Structure formats: C-alpha cells, structure tokens
Structure 1
Amino acid sequence: MKPLHIVLCALALCLLVAAPGRVSAIDFYFVGPSGGDFFDSGNWNDQPTGLGAFLATPVVDAGTSLIEHSLVIDGDTVGAATEVRFGMGSLLMDAGALLNVTGTTSGTLAFTFGPGGSFTMNNSALNVQNGASGQISLGSGSTSSFVGATVTASDDIFFRGATSIVGSAFESTGDDIELQDSATFSAITGSSFFASSTGPGGDFDQFIIFQAPTIDITGSSFRGGLLGIDGTTTTTVVATDSTFDFAGDVENAFASSSTGTHLLTLAGTSTLVADQIEEGVALFLKDTTTATFIDDTVDSDLDGWITSGALVRLDSPQARLVLQSAQNVSNASRVFNGVTSTTYAATPQFFVPSGWNGSDAVTLSIVPEPSCLLLVVGFIGAVACCRRVGG
C-alpha cells in the first residue's frame, strides 16, 4: 500500500490538471509566421525555438470559453480576427512584439483579462481596432504591467485591476480612457494618455476619467475632450511634473454615481489647460504649477471659469491661476489662498493682483505667507529705528 501523502499528492496533481480555469504552468511561445493566427494551436510551442512540444489543446479553453494558458509573444507580429479574452491565463509581450486584434464575435470587449489573469508588455505594441466593439478591459482581480508599451484601441480602454505603467502610451481613437474604481496603480510614470476622438467642430470630445480612490502620477501627459474625476468615493489625484490638456471641462463626469468632492493636486511643474472646473472637484496648485481656464462668455452656463461646488486653491506663491477671458459673474469666492485659508473675495490683499473684480481676465498668485511679511517689515522697521537712534 502506498503511503498516504503520496496518494494525496497524486490526487492533488490530477485535480490541478483537470480543473478548468487553471493557468498552465508551461509557457508557450508564438513560433508561427509573421502575422500568424493567435488562435492556431500550431503556432504555440513550449520552446521559443519551436523545437519543443506544440500546444495540444485549443487556445481558448472549452470549459471556460477563456484563455487559460501562459502565452509569450517575444518579438513577433500576431493577428487575432476575433476577441482575445483571458481568464486565469497570462500573456507576455516582449520587445518588438505586435498584437493586432480586429474583431469580436459578440459584445464590445475585444481584449480582456479577468480575475487571476496577468498581462505584461515590455517595449511592445497592442492594437485593437474594431470600431465601437474595440474595447480593452483589464478587469478587476487582474494584474498588468506596461513598460515602453504602445496601446491603441478604437473604443474604451478600462483599467480595473492592479496596474503599473512606466514609459508607455495609451490612445483611444473613439471613446474614453477610464481608470476605474476597482483599479490600483503602483506607478504611472513617464507615460501618455490620449482620448483622440473629435466631434463635429473638430475638438476632442471624449473623457479621460479618474475614479480609483488614489492615483499618483509623475512626468505624464493627459489629453482629450474632458477630464472626469468622480469615483464612487472620494478620488484623490496627485500629479507631479505632468501636463493636462483638455478642450472641455474638469468635472465630476458621472455625478449621479459618485459622492463628495474629488481632489486634483498639481505639484512640481505640472500644468492644466481646460475650459472650466465644475461642481464636485477641488483643484490645488502647489510649487510652480499653472492652471489655465479658457471659458468664454459665448456659452450659456453663466457660471464662469469655476462653477458652483468647485474651487481652486493656490498653495504656493509661485503657482499661477490663469483665467483667460472675461466672464459675466464673479468667481472671487471660489479662489482660495491655501496659506491663509481665505478666499479672494474675503482677503484680496493676500493675492496678486489685489484689485481683481472677480470676472475680468487675470493671472492670479498669492503673496508670501503674511506672518513672514510682517516679520520682514518689523525687522526693516527695527533696523531703521536703530539707525535713527544711532544717528
């Protein structure tokens, strides 16, 4: 009779092999021709040379209808004429790899990873082009890493899992880029995000949306129609040495599904250009940052650059708030001095210029901390007094 521990180990191994949704412990490398079919099992081999064993089962698991294998594209160009949907499988795209996804059989999700799935891109490119059915979804419970990656989709790009982004570029040519509530980000560094769809007037007309509770950004750029900041709880975004360039507003994009005031902090040399900042969003300007709002009086909202329920706070004397065109209403009560914790309307003497009427075009900054000014003035006065006494 075999020892019990040997029997149990053998049983566990059998269950592991038989259970649907399990990730294969073996990496299979794409060894097919350039532009070859992603779903052809004969294009995947357990040796990068192609001299090992080929994938003996379909790429898509018959039980889960998802990809459960561990796949590697190490520099090849690969084509997928229908959706690429991973369950607990993984995909590594190494330097020079290109995956083109050009279709779906059902739904709009052309490229997805589910719970337990893993996606890694190193200096490679993913191109998902299928009109309104060309969505990318990196689902809740999945992990993704992008280093030097280029990702393009004809529809939405959804970040919902644990993600790291370094030196990469993301573009949606037809819809939004959304960093959703369930997403976590260990890094967003040196990367670009572009929602490039344009409307009838030629302006960008789609969102880049921040919903994750905490998002820290360094040295990155964001460009599109509107910037949404609106998680189901408070969303806190801190961007250092980054740029935001939007044709429309900074706003609580889906106000019906979110609560509280969401926070956008610009630090370092960050810049923001947008039409307005709207209800539910507070903007904090630190260091040498600049925010420029370009709203004019042609629109019908009659609410100025900073609408009711929004605010801008200047936290550094070197920060600048540029309000480009004259408005019909005063926004003086919505501009704050972060040092004195007062508004322009209440204490204009703590701002530069101090004679702004709240509606004219202006570039605003704050004076150095008043207590410091008083000390300097007092010191100068004391020196002058001593000189008079000494004279």
Structure 2
Amino acid sequence: MGFPFIGETMEFFNAQRRNKLYEEFVHPRITKHGKIFKTRIIGSPTVIVNGAEANKFLLSNEFKLVKSSWPSSSVHLMGKDSIMEKDGERHRFLRGVIGTSLGYAGLETLVPKLCNFVKLYLSQNWHGQEEISLYRSTKVLTFSIVFECLLGIKVEPGMIDTFERVLEGVFSPAIKFPGSKFSRAMKARKEIEKMIVKVVREKRKEIEEGRVKREEDTMLMSKLVYGMIQEEITEKEIIDNVVLLVFAAHDTTSFAVAMTFKMLAQHPDCYGKVLQEHVNIMRNKGRGESLNVEDIKKMKYTWQVARESMRLFPPIFGSFRKAITDIEYEGFTIPKGWKVNF
C-alpha cells in the first residue's frame, strides 16, 4: 500500500497525468496481486477493482453499498453542494433538474443550436488554416458550447484559463500553501464563483421582473434559477453544479473528440465510412438546414467510432466510491469506510 498516509498517491496521479493509469499503475499490480488489490491514495485505504462485472456491481449498488467519495481536493474545488456529494432524494432531485436539458425534449432545442454554433466556430477558427492545435481547439469549443448553448452564459475573454486553473488542482494534495496547485486552483475557483453569482442574480432579476417567459427560456441556468425562486434549490447548489458540469463536460469531451480525430486520421477506411454516413444524412437536408435529434440517431457508425476511440483512450481514469457497509465481492471483503476505485 506504499508509504504511510501518502501511500501510492504520487505513482497513481503521475500515471493518470500521462493518461497511462492502466498501463503504468493498474496493470503491474494486477500482474502481481490479481484483478482486485488494495492501495492507499491521498491518505485513504483504497481497493481498486477492474472489469465490466465489477463496474456493473458497484454502479447497480449506488447508495446501497457505496456512495460517491472523491478526493478532498476535488470536493473543495467542485463544491460540497454539487451533485457528486449528494445522495438519496437530494441527488435524485438535482439530477432530474439537470437532466431535463439533456432529455429528448431538451435535445430537440439543443441540437440545432449546437450545430449552428459548431459551424460558426469552424468557419471562424478552422477555415483557411493550414494547421490547428486540435486538442486546444476542441477544449475552447466544448467550453463555449457548455456555457453558451447549455447554460446561456456568454463566454468572456480569460474564462477558460480561469477554469483550467481550477482543473489543475482537482487531483492535487489539498494543501493550502502559497504557490501550490491547490492554492492556485482555490483562488481561481473564487473568481468563478463570483462570476456565476452575478449571472444567477441577474437572471433572477430578469425572471422576477417578467422580462423572460419560462416556457420560452430553455437554458439550464434559467431552469436552475426558477428552482431557486421556488425555494427548491439554493444559490450555492447552482454555483457548485455549474462548476461540476463544466468540469465534467468540457475536459472529458474535448479529449474524446481529439482522440477520435486522431484515430480517424490513422484509419482512413473508417474516416471514409463516417464521411459517407454524414453525406447521406445531408442529402436529405435543405440548404442551410440544421441537424436535429432524428439525424443524430442515424449516425450509427459515427457513434461506434466514438465509442471505440473512448475504449482505447478513456476520457476519465475511473471513479471513486466509498463503502457505506462491509462489502463481500469475489471472495474479498471491502471494509466499511474504505474507498473503491473502478
């Protein structure tokens, strides 16, 4: 389990930063100890399990045997009132509010808006360029989509850099000394909180003064503020869940998109099939007509390519849970209070 308290934290996160967690950390220990092994990460005794069956077992027993339990640095930066720190009825309620924007009805509005946004971004930033920084470009694009298309917040200069300073501290030791990654991240987090509070209060004023109609305003931020006005959700819950949503959607999505592009570049036969699938869809569209949800459903091969890319290059290294009771699994006992990474 490594050294006292710190355990194998450095080995774990060094491998994670290189996106080689499985190759450099997990696989050597599977070879030595088997597919279930124990370690210590950021001071917590942790059991690491692997494979689809283990994932299914843990996810199907959410709130029964385990609950979400991320490192303290992640909790401080994402917020203690974010959905990842809630359980039971409160978790279900917040998930329901956020999920309404991503359900079928929400996607009917979101997809054409997203399509137009991407076309505009490509014409302004990719068209005519001989070379682009793909990963950086997709980061800017996904960040802007989350803010402008989903939340309805105008992206201002410097916002993405402030958010990325927060991300740099998410898996660092939660030590507040000047100049540390965590300290810089917390400072950036306070800047973000100040910005979101201003947006929330301006939106509340618009709603209460009748300047926007609820049935016409489909943005997620507006739905959250309506919930706050009705005292179903607090201002702090809005702030923390917006920060979490940006973290979850922006960083992972941009990596998945970049890796999919990379794989298509290395496999021109697959690229040809993806291109033909999209050409076939566009043949049935009018000039300037945007894509809709039904068009997305037709992109079956495209989705297979995206899934295979994510299988080969996972956007996240896994997830943390905490045992809320002793767990018997595969002949092993995971003690109550221990962390589980899968």
Bigger relative contact order, structure 1 or 2, given CA contacts below 8 A and separation 6+? 2
Q: Which one has the bigger strand percentage?
A: 1
Highest CA radius of gyration, 1 or 2?
1
TM-score range, shorter chain: under 0.3
TM-score where L is the length of structure 1: 0.19
TM-score where L is the length of structure 2: 0.20
Q: Which one has the bigger helix percentage?
A: 2
